[in-house]
Amino acid sequence: MRAAAFLLAAVCASAHVVSMSSGDLAVDGAHAHFELRMPAYELVHVQSPERTLLDHIRFSGGGGDARRVAQACAADRARDTYLCTAEYEFPAPPTAIEVECTLARATVPNHVHLLRATMGGKHDQGIFDLSFTRTTLRFRPPTAAEVAAGEAFAGAARALGGAVQLLFLAALVLAARGKRELAALAAMFVLGEAAAVLLGPRTAWQPAPRFVEAAAALTVAYLAVEILLLPKAGARWIVAGALGLFHGLYLYLFVRTSGYRPGWVLAGAAGAGLAAIAILALVFSRLGRPMRALRPVQVSASALFVFGVVWFFLRLRS
Q: Which residue has the higher pLDDT, 289 or 171?
A: 171
Domains of the chain: 2-15+162-317 (no CATH), 20-142 (2.60.40)
pLDDT tens-digit series, residues 35-85 = 999 888 778 778 888 889 999 999 999 999 999 999 999 988 777 789 999
Q: Are 96 and 116 in contact (CB under 8 A)?
A: no
- Tens digit of each residue's pLDDT (9 = 90 or more) over 229-254: 877 777 788 888 888 888 888 888 88
83: Cα within 13 Å, side-chain hemisphere: 10
Give the burial class of 47: count Cβ atoms within 10 A of its Cβ; 0-12 exposed, 13-18 middle, 19 or more buried.
exposed
225 pLDDT more than 70: yes
Asked whether the beta carbons of 159 and 190 are under 8 A apart, the reply is: no
